[in-house]
Chain A
């Protein structure tokens, strides 16, 4: 046995006791640490554990579709996947960014820029880094769930419009909400959300947009989905039915073709818009994903102004179409009296200046009365009328009939046009009205400006005996604004007779577009963008014109009124725009006849297609949308705003 143990039992009892105290103290300290975490800060860590465990993935609500008046689909959706980047953990994001950019085929710099742009948003909000995922992207995301748990796929609905820019200016387009919109929306919008940017998409965005749902899933530490929690279903946006008639719209689109211009067809009895075309137009399908800055700039700088909605925003000189307003004003104001005649030698001299008639150099109109002046579009007659009336009377009647003010169509950014007056010239140019200017205004030249929509609205209202209905594209619009202008029966009769003559009488300027068996009335207009002399000085040969035609049928209480304008044409308005108007009116009657032959069989079969109510005031059906209408100060209208029952 070794020497080193010999019952040496001098144990250091004091130091052993001290060791016991150290042990008790150590365990107590550890318990205090647990008490801090598990009792004092428990709620904080509970939230963190929940945030770890639960990942919220939005379920995007599909946007409401747009149907035509017969229930045919005009604007639809198709499913697609977006790639989301989760940003809860910025360190991991920065670390994996090159791999993500590489895997999804994105530029690293763009990604970085996007990240810094969205830096102000809350961290738990994922951002869309690729709006349209390819199958390869999907494979990349799935195979890297473990090592890059930052990517998520989101099912989205993309907008599908009819191809080739069909009805594009009416439908408008959607786009990703901007950062500013997100901030202003009080949490309603998230990055990557889509909102209407123009046209009906913007006007009825609140209706069309649904309420996104939320899928809450349990994920493990490598981002794998382990289970599902509650799911809040998406509420799809409301489908809206438009007043547009697909058949007439097609005629309008084809009629304009690649010409620059606009066509608008209204039912003046209700204010319903039957066709709405503006060319050139962009293809909104191109905007459905994401527009590049270059593409956007190109569209904005395009000489043809494809982003301009010409129906409501092109402010053009009406040319001879304005003579209908002049004729109405003359008959109503009796200045000059209705039996007034003028002699047209092909020109007239007013205030020391010669004003040509459009037939100048070829022939003369001779002595013309009001009817002949309308039919043959004699300028000299209306020079004389204008001179006798004076600018303020012209202005008064033009405004009373609806020019110089927005019609209140359910479309954003409508322009008001311009009706000059003494007060206007004083206010804007700070000088007195030159009486000579009145002569130009009398034939729709000079500073008077109208939109195609206004032309259809005003002419339709006059032909309807002074009943003006607010134009609208929403089928079930409620509280459609209505305006009554007191017009003498004889006034309406004489004006419509004149317009009937334009097309149906020999020598009428629209004689070439006569329609068999239809009381088709109209008026052409050719607004010179610059005088013949100025044009020839610039070497443009024949002057560039805006060719107008406005037509309606039947002659009294018309069912359809169509206005068309073709810009930058060398042709006369009747030739450039007349055939488009005629084709639409013809298509309308063809369809009407077909319907009455087939009786009511087809009418009720269309899903979602409701019967047209002749009077939009009378029937109340949900969902109704109150039109917002600006009330011009001088004209009294009964306008009520009614909220969507929701």
Chain B
């Protein structure tokens, strides 16, 4: 099957957009860390990006149908890995999320996100009806529910939440009925108080401080407040590269990772934000376009699963930076520093590329 694909068939526009976003990320990581103890972080990030590109190309060469064939196996591997993490995982920053791979710590949940995209695509592709039956909807829910609970156990609320839009977008495209959607929303709202009960204290604090940020300026509202100050003080034109006081003096929390958009907005201003968010919009729209031109439903679901995950990341992370959503610890795809997250995004893009490469192949 592979013999008929050519380099011409790669989505070069998509690659260009991805590269541009990565470049912004590397620049801002450099700016945020060059004067601190974390100096050199941008070269590590470049290393991850190179590995990511390589993995993307490798993954794009393996026919996605072959990959989806193995969905049940992947699913079991994913669940097993999550269970393993809970049993023998490495605890960092108060959560068991990491297992050591090749001298680096990798977050298993990032890999699981990828697996769930594949598994859901396979599941929805097998639904042959135009409308999604309640039965199938519940099945899909269970498929997502098991890893979701395991990830919540780590605890990693952010990653667990990312599984939800994959399910929602998949179900929507598989013909979700409006009445089902209404019922799910209703149940979801009713479950909110129960869910609140299961939140960890620090998670509750994040939500309350999101609702009342001025009450506790140095506690958990501090991060969001400092981020807003950084963004707001950047103004339209920005303070200039390496000149953001909030960034350079360390007022922005984890300014090279989760809050990198805050650092970028401070130094590059609204014009820089326009560029960055413009690129993200181009990326997401390009992904949807790839879904629209996919050869089959399986490819379409695969691409849209990736779109849902990345779109959700962008939305939650950027909204957090401007104080419009609580702090969840979700990084900004391709800009935030981080090995596992970067690899996940590139593998996800690899899946998209895979679908693209095979659109004319029979």
Contacts and interface: CB of A to CB of B under 8 A. Distances in A.
Contact of A35 (B169, B218, B270, B304): B270
Given A26-B311, A91-B217, A41 B232 contact: yes
Interface in B299-338: 300, 304, 307, 311, 314-315, 318-319, 322, 324
Given A19-B307, A89-B218, A219-B249, A34 B231 contact: yes
Given A31-B273, A45-B229, A89-B217, A23 B298 contact: no
Interface stretch (B79-87, B185-193, B277-285): B277-285
A52 B246 contact: yes
A5 interface: yes
Interface residues of A, number: 48
B298 A16 contact: no
A516 interface: no
B228 A37 contact: yes
B296 A49 contact: no
B122 A4 contact: yes
B124 to A, nearest CB: 11
A599 to B, nearest CB: 67
A635 interface: no
A68 to B, nearest CB: 52
B295 A7 contact: yes
Interface stretch (B99-107, B142-150, B286-294): B286-294
Given A10-B297, A33-B319, A34-B265, A42 B173 contact: no
Contacts of B40: none
Nearest to A88: B217
Contact of A52 (B68, B219, B229, B284): B229
A46 interface: yes
Contacts of A38: 231-232, 234-236, 265, 269-270, 273
B292 A16 contact: yes
A222 B291 CA distance: 48
A17 B294 CA distance: 14
A39 B232 CA distance: 7
Interface string A19-53: 11001101100110111111101101110111011
B180 interface: no
Contacts of A19: 169, 172-173, 288, 291, 304, 307
Contacts of B277: 27, 30-31, 34
A16 B300 contact: yes
A33 B249 CA distance: 24
Interface in B82-128: 122, 125-126, 128
B315 A26 contact: yes
Contact of B296 (A9, A15, A91, A222): A9
Given A16-B300, A91-B219, A220 B270 contact: no
Contacts of B251: 49, 52, 220-221
A8 B125 contact: yes
B216 interface: yes
B205 to A, nearest CB: 13
Contacts of A354: none
Contacts of B204: none
B69 interface: yes
A5 B249 contact: no
A297 interface: no
B250 A222 contact: yes
Give the dominant DSSP class at A's interface: helix
Interface in A176-203: none
B203 interface: no
B288 A16 contact: yes
B230 interface: yes
A92 interface: yes
Contact of A24 (B125, B281, B322): B281
Looking at A1, A30, A37, A48, the one whose CB has the most chain B CB atoms below 10 A away is: A37
Contacts of A1: 65
A234 interface: no
B233 interface: yes
B245 A37 contact: no
Nearest to A219: B249
B218 A30 contact: no
B69 A23 contact: no
Contact of B281 (A4, A23, A53, A222): A23
Given A20-B285, A37-B231, A48-B229, A8 B315 contact: no
Nearest to A5: B298
B285 A15 contact: no
B175 interface: yes
A30 B300 contact: no
Contact of A37 (B232, B280, B292, B297): B232
Contact of B125 (A5, A20, A48, A49): A5
Contacts of A20: 285, 288
Contacts of A36: 322
A369 B128 CA distance: 144
Given A38-B232, A44-B232, A91 B298 contact: no
A223 to B, nearest CB: 10
A618 interface: no
A116 interface: no
B274 interface: yes
B231 A45 contact: yes
A5 B298 CA distance: 7
A39 B270 contact: yes
A34 B173 contact: no
Nearest to A4: B126
A92 B218 contact: yes
Nearest to B130: A10
Given A11-B292, A91-B217, 10 more contacts: A10-B130, A11-B300, A19-B169, A34-B322, A37-B322, A42-B232, A46-B235, A48-B229, A53-B249, A92-B218
Interface of A: 1-2, 4-5, 7-13, 15-17, 19-20, 23-24, 26-27, 30-31, 33-39, 41-42, 44-46, 48-50, 52-53, 89, 91-92, 218-222, 226
26 contacts: A4-B126, A5-B65, A15-B172, A15-B173, A19-B172, A19-B304, A19-B307, A20-B288, A23-B307, A23-B311, A27-B284, A30-B318, A37-B322, A39-B270, A42-B233, A45-B229, A45-B230, A45-B232, A49-B230, A49-B251, A50-B233, A89-B217, A89-B218, A91-B217, A221-B226, A221-B250
Lowest 10 A-B CB distances belong to which pairs?
Answer: A45-B232, A49-B233, A221-B250, A220-B249, A37-B232, A27-B281, A38-B270, A33-B322, A42-B235, A53-B245
